[in-house]
């Protein structure tokens, strides 16, 4: 299921409320969006109704809670929004950060999604399942691997020397 930008924003706000350990009280839920007019208020009500109809949220009396599907969608949104900090090339510490994996065929979609995420975030593939990045991103990789359900198959390593290192330094614009 594809969410609109407004639905994604609403889901993130509801997820934040859930993270704080509180269920959002339905009559007050619209306060989170701060509607400026009755037209906006109607728009937000429709967003909440659509999330309910799609079984993303559960309306229990006056409370709004995330369903399992809603929690999974929120996790996917959060993983998609993970940004890996590229750091300052002039302050590179000379350490290469490697991500390698051996993900079984039964997790092919997750493996492909992980590969795409690594490529999209600036990693360079140096072997089939070995990717390199010049800056520390251990927590971000752990979050991404956890989201895709492949964390047990992913390893994060550090080294100060790689074959063809000068090519990588040039690619990333690094100065030792």
Tell me the two tokens of residue 128.
């089939």
* Local confidence band at 34 (pLDDT 50, 70, 90 cut-offs): low
Write the CA distances from 26 to 10, 17, 63, 73, 133, integer angstroms: 13, 12, 5, 21, 45
In a shared domain, residues 94 and 66: no
The structure's pTM equals 0.64
CATH number at residue 49: 1.10.10.10
Of 24, 57, 79, the position where a domain reaches its end is 79
In a shared domain, residues 63 and 124: no
The whole-number average pLDDT for the span 166-171 is: 91
Q: Which of 13-17, 59-63, 77-81, 110-114 has the lowest mean pLDDT?
A: 13-17
Model confidence over 40-56: pLDDT tens digits? 777 777 877 888 888 88
Instruction: Choose between 162 and 66: higher pLDDT.
Output: 162
Q: What is the DSSP letter of 90?
A: G
In a shared domain, residues 91 and 60: no
Rounded Cα–Cα distance for residues 21 and 106 (Å): 35
Look up tokens 């999209």; give the residue: 120
Q: Supply the mean pLDDT for the chain.
A: 80
Tell me the two tokens of residue 14.
């509801």
Tell me the two tokens of residue 61.
């009396």
Of 62, 79, 96, the position where a domain reaches its end is 79
What pLDDT is stored for residue 33 in this prediction?
54
Rounded Cα–Cα distance for residues 82 and 111 (Å): 17
Model confidence over 84-120: pLDDT tens digits? 776 676 788 899 999 999 999 999 999 998 999 999 8
Model confidence over 7-20: pLDDT tens digits? 777 777 766 665 54
In a shared domain, residues 108 and 133: yes
What pLDDT is stored for residue 51 in this prediction?
82
Residue 25 Cα to chain centre, angstroms: 27
Handedness of CA 83, 148, 153, 103 (dihedral sign): negative
* Local confidence band at 25 (pLDDT 50, 70, 90 cut-offs): very low
Write the CA distances from 44 to 38, 73, 76, 134, 174, integer angstroms: 10, 19, 22, 43, 47
Q: Which domain holds residue 123?
A: 86-172
């Amino acid at each position: 299921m594809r969410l609109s930008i407004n639905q994604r924003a609403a889901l993130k706000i509801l997820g934040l409320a859930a993270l704080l350990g509180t269920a959002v009280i339905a009559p007050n839920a619209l306060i989170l969006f701060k509607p400026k007019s009755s037209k906006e208020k109607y728009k937000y009500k429709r967003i909440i109704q659509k999330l309910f109809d799609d079984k993303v949220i559960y309306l229990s009396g006056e409370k709004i809670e995330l369903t399992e599907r809603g929690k999974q969608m929120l996790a996917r949104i959060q993983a998609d929004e993970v940004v890996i900090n590229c750091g300052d090339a002039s302050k590179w510490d000379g350490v290469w950060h490697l991500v390698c994996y051996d993900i079984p065929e039964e997790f092919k979609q997750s493996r492909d999604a992980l590969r795409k995420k690594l490529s999209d975030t600036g990693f360079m593939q140096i072997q089939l399942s070995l990717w390199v990045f010049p800056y520390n991103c251990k927590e971000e990789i752990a979050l991404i691997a956890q989201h895709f359900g492949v964390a047990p198959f992913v390893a994060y390593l550090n080294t100060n020397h790689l074959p063809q290192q000068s090519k990588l330094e040039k690619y990333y614009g690094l100065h030792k």
